[in-house]
Amino acid sequence: MEHEGQGRSLAERLAALTPERRALLELALKGKAPAPRAPRLRPPLGAVFQEGSEDIQTLAPLPEVSASFSWVLAARGSRTEEQARLLEAAHRDLRGALFRAVDLTTCERILGFGGGDGREWVALARRPGAFRVTGHVSSSQEAEAARERVRAQSLEGRIQVVSGALDSDGLETGFDAAFGLEALRDPEARAPLFAALGKKVREGGRLVLGDVFLKTGLSLPHVEALSLPLLDELVTWLSAHGFAVVDCVDAASEMGNFLHEPSMDTRLSQLGWGAEDVRAETARAYEVMGGLLRGGAAAYLLLTAEKRGEPGPERLEAMNRERLMMARRYADLPHTWLYAPRWRPVVSAPRAEDTPASSAHCLVFADRGGLGAAFARNVSNSGGRCTFVHRGEVFRRSDDGGYEVPIRNPEDYLRLMESLASEGAVPSRIVYLWSLDAPKPEGLTVSQLQDETLDVCGGLLYLTQALLKAGANHPASPSLWLVTRGAQRADETGGLPGLSGASLWGLGKAIAYEHPELDCRRLDLDPRRGVEEGAQELWTELRSRDGEDQVLLRDGTRHVLRLVRHRQWDWEGAGRLQFRADATYLVTGGLGGLGLQVARWMVQRGARNLVLLGRKRASEVSTEEVREMRGQGAAIISLAGVSVDSDLDFVMAGISKRMPPLRGIVHAMTEVDDGILLHQTRERLGRVFSAKVAGAWNLHRWLEGTPLEFFMMVSSSTSLMGASGQASHLAATSFLEGLAEYRRSLGLPGQSSSWGAWTQPGDEAAEALDARMRKRGVGMVPAAQAFCVLEQVFGPVPAAVGVMPIHWPTFLGGLPGDEPPALFADFGGDLGPGRASAELRRELLRRVRGGSGEEGRGAVLEWFREQVAKVLELNATQLPEPEQTLHELGLDSLMGVELKKLLHAQLRVEFPLQELLGGKSIGELSGSLYEALR
């Protein structure tokens, strides 16, 4: 597609143009438009692609471009099982969004129009409610097709199919709602359709409509062939017949993603459609529609309008125009905020790296079960070598030529690195196997489990700190591999015998986020494999060349971790969740913050017996909240200063004696102790673990035999996305995710949900923070919508879910590097966020290595000043002066981590964090950077 490639390049250079002009430019550059012709009936997709197009009758919203999906081939029946699921989920989302502002349970009669073969009426009739559907079609042929579909679904009692004039007296009036999906295809029938709807819908009834509208009058051949209605025309039609828009969402971007087809010429050639084939012409017309939607020149509106006698047409027109122009984005609907980590099987094995195995020197933190020794034999047989590090009481050389290191002494890890360096034995890889020695979780007390998880994480923490400190003298950092066995679970099958190692994955995420130069990779071995098999698989994985940094091995199959959208949103069930009045629910962290908000919501949904636990004394705010909940008829027991670890016996005894049976847990207890990895300690990890890990495990042990309805653990969205300075939180919440999976493996309820920050209306500080976060692509969760989502989280969702409004192009575009992290690979689009930064790097290197010294130094200084300003969130007019130090500018340790990551990812330069925070000026640091680039 040479023309399309040129169009994209030019569009990028002219990004300042309005969306409408960008869409026009894209169309003009295609250069394949046929001669203009008079507007005609816009053909539906299904009418063009007859073969195998059963589920492609309308467009479908795709939140992201799917690289493996082609709407042209899918419409021809050439779709995979995964693509079929994608289409089914997308159409379910579309129908749910279409009726989001209509309470179907209060409707008795609904009019469907433009339904073609009756597919949408059948989908509607399956929803909860006792309503009947009258489906109107314009021809006897369509009527027969629709009746056949209704008979096939045994819905004759709920759906009546009629034909003829919609405004005829023979068709009843007084409908509670009327709906049509992409029903405005015939230009001549649009105005009469709205006139008829104005007569058929009762006062106070709803009109539900989903279709494409042009925002401006475009005079291009393909646009004329599409016969799209204008947004201005919609305003006129609605207002003239008494309809006031009450809710409107624009799904233009998502429908544009559906129609994204970068290989249209290839697709049409595969189908054997020539340039004169009417099907090819229609396919190109829909391709143009996708360009209009993506460029902002067209809108795909999902609107609900109410029939009102007042105000008059002129007032209605002004109101409707304003509301349609201010339509919410589809991406702002809360059902698009749910994500889940998913293990995806990989068919092909990873390619081995080019570096000869004989050059491999692995530093192995050996387990006691023999896997490390078996692994060393594999390395030795390939010509490499291993140095063992064993857990010991004191630091010393061991009999096998390796070392013994006390797991809780940070100074000894640094001694280890210094000793290796002095002997010229700096490893190329470090393999951390100490988590394999942790016992299975069954029967562990709270203190035993916390000690085991802290030892595993603490040892890794001190190892990482030693590597970073040693890295200041040895820039070539070894690759760090964290190995667990049975700490993860694929496809909700099997057990979780390595639960104690689950926290290691969270700490590994913090290492990967703060220090990408360590190339931290996590691998979970199959607990059902023997030592020799596991060692061979580990050696194969260590020699892989791909960018996968989170891998799970089960039954000989390699799985990689991806963050995916959770698309099982239950639109029909929204608002129906009720808690039992004859049950008791326990909320930890219930005396403040998120826990208190959840408790109040539970009371509103019927809960009448709550026990709120907190480790600190209740504040005046929470005391007032509890008083209000009691005023609503709830029996609230609030306990201040309760330690979940030591005093849960007392709490449970009180519930069993004086309250109804305990039926649900919300564990929202938290402890904040942020700090970059270099500043963390085992003791600081322990404070956070005590609140989240020990509390959750104690609750599980106490209630393992209790028939609970839910066991929900709540945390921050950083557990899924990663963040600087969040090592303790990431490690603790990874355990919660593991515990949720562990409970499910036992047949018990378990759920870990990670939330973006909540914001309340009128909270100016939160609104300012939300504005700053949105510049990075991540928004806060409005509390009113958060509870709508929370209701779904209580339903059948994966063990771990995240709830966060995120704009992926912005978020990924702000990350350093040429490609998105493997975890976010599904959201990278077709261009990747790092292309611009890669070009910038090439240009900067050209000036450094090809120009004069003065020019190169000046270029590096200017680039470095811009990066510092970016990290400090300064505008373009506030670039720091060369004489200023980073400390003077207010750069703290977390910002230093972000700046260090930028240098590493964009320029492939490793800058020790200590140097960035050491008080040097901007000019001095840019000089060091210049020398490194040369």
Q: What are the pLDDT digits (tens) for 169-197?
A: 888 899 999 999 999 988 889 999 999 99
Mean pLDDT for the stretch of residues 693-718: 90
pLDDT band of 476, cuts 50, 70, 90: low
What is the rounded distance in angstroms from the CA atom of residue 262 to the CA atom of residue 677? 44
Of 567 and 830, more confident: 567
Q: Residue 311: is the preceding peptide bond cis (ω within 30°)?
A: yes
Mean pLDDT for the stretch of residues 677-697: 89
Q: What are the pLDDT digits (tens) for 564-585?
A: 888 766 655 566 788 999 999 9
Amino acid letter for position 290: G
Percent of the chain with pLDDT over 90: 36
What is the rounded distance in angstroms from the CA atom of residue 57 to the CA atom of residue 686? 56
| pLDDT for 217 | 65
Decide if 523 contacts 553 (C-beta within 8 A): yes
pLDDT band of 7, cuts 50, 70, 90: very low
Of 907 and 245, more confident: 245
| pLDDT for 36 | 46
pLDDT at 14 over 50: no
Q: What are the pLDDT digits (tens) for 650-666?
A: 888 888 888 999 999 99
**Residue matched to tokens 């004329």:** 224
What 3-state DSSP class applies to 390?
strand
pLDDT band of 54, cuts 50, 70, 90: low
Q: Which residues contact 488 (CB under 8 A, 6 or more apart)?
A: 343, 496, 502, 505, 524, 552, 738, 741
The whole-chain average pLDDT of the chain stands at 82
| pLDDT for 597 | 87
| pLDDT for 78 | 64
Of 26-40, 624-638, 750-764, where does mean pLDDT reach its minimum? 26-40
| pLDDT for 223 | 64
Mean pLDDT for the stretch of residues 359-384: 93
Q: What are the pLDDT digits (tens) for 546-569?
A: 889 999 999 989 999 999 888 766
What is the rounded distance in angstroms from the CA atom of residue 345 to the CA atom of residue 342? 10
Q: What are the pLDDT digits (tens) for 749-791?
A: 999 999 888 887 777 776 677 777 777 778 888 887 888 888 8
CA distances from 789 to 93, 251, 868 (A): 15, 20, 38
Decide if 696 contacts 735 (C-beta within 8 A): yes
Decide if 570 contacts 795 (C-beta within 8 A): yes
What is the rounded distance in angstroms from the CA atom of residue 61 to the CA atom of residue 253? 8
Mean pLDDT for the stretch of residues 441-464: 92
| pLDDT for 108 | 94
Of 138 and 661, more confident: 661
Of 2-11, 253-262, 471-480, where does mean pLDDT reach its minimum? 2-11
- Which tokens belong to 112? 């469907």
What is the rounded distance in angstroms from the CA atom of residue 671 to the CA atom of residue 683? 13
What is the rounded distance in angstroms from the CA atom of residue 861 to the CA atom of residue 245? 54
Cα dihedral 664/667/668/670 (nearest 10): 170
Decide if 123 contacts 95 (C-beta within 8 A): yes
Of 198-207, 360-369, 457-466, 842-851, where does mean pLDDT reach its minimum? 842-851
DSSP H or E segment with residue 562: strand 557-565
**Residue matched to tokens 């009692």:** 157
Amino acid letter for position 53: S
**Residue matched to tokens 């209790």:** 706
DSSP 327: P
